[in-house]
Amino acid sequence: MTRQRSAVLIAGPTASGKSSMALARARDRGSVIINADSMQVYDTLRIVTARPSADDEAQADHRLYGTVPANQRFSTGQWLNAVKEILDTLDPAREAIFVGGTGLYFDALTKGFADVPEIAPELTLQVEAEIKLLDEAERMRLLLAEDPATAHRLKVADPQRVIRALAVKRATGKPLSAFQDDLQKGLVEDWAVERYVLAPDRDVLRERIALRFEAMFAGGAVEEVRALRAQNLDPSLPVMKAIGVREIGDWLDGVMERQEAIALATIATQQYAKRQRTWFRNRMGEWPRLGLGGTRPT
């Protein structure tokens, strides 16, 4: 009888201790840790994106960390294809631990993925500029005019979803909903899967975020941003939007003081953590909750 393959899915907001939980389990069981964070896939910014340290990576098998050049874009579909290649060559007896804060990656992994063709970045930027000054009602009216099927599925016409839907419709001539109705099967659908969302106390998380960015600034983040800027990359690339890149860049340019840069990056990170918690609450409400670093709630 073939043994069922196993996976552990560890999701949570930034600074919640996901990586330490994954590392402890991987060391104990010989598991492979697979990155499920959309910023940690890129090279150059190990510290800024809070990737595992070189010492951590030496203690367990880590995959998809820092493997994508900063001058490239890496879609959810590309991530899923990369994961499939890893799983196809992995010893079936080894546990796979997926860890990260990108909810869409976990959705694709467990529920399947709509195989939408790659959209030219220029078109996406054009749509983004077109809707920039529109309020929610106006965005919904525009989407209803061009892609009513997708519009009727959205509860809120938030900018990113509207941009995505309009870009897909204009590029392919097909509504985004048509691709969403043709989901590929989730890669771990038939596996034995443990699912966890780390949900530490908000005040504790906010303090950890503040302390972490202070440490990043003093521990090499500035040098990473210098190296990134030296590549003269397109500002629209995902890596250029990593929290801390703009703030540290402004400090390097003399636009703001060091403490202001740290404060703004900390606020942006806390806001990002709030968006992550909202996603996990709405899309992973049934997943068991754990405390900081995977501790059991008291």
Measured CA to CA, the distance from residue 57 to residue 197 in angstroms comes to 22
Q: Which residues are annotated as a binding site for ATP?
A: 12-19
Give binding residues as ranges.
12-19
Among left, alpha and beta (phi > 0; psi -120 to 50; other), residue 121 is alpha
b/e per residue 274-294 (b: at least 16 CB within 10 A): eebbebbeeebeebebbbbeb
Phi/psi for 33 (5° steps) reads -100, 125
Q: Give Cα 90 distance to the centre of its chain.
A: 23
The annotation places the binding site for substrate at: 14-19
Distance of alpha carbon 249 from the chain centroid:
22
Widest pairwise Cα distance in the chain: 65
Q: Which two tokens stand for residue 276?
A: 């992550």
For the sheet containing 96-100, what is the strand order? 61-63, 32-35, 96-100, 6-11, 192-198, 289-290
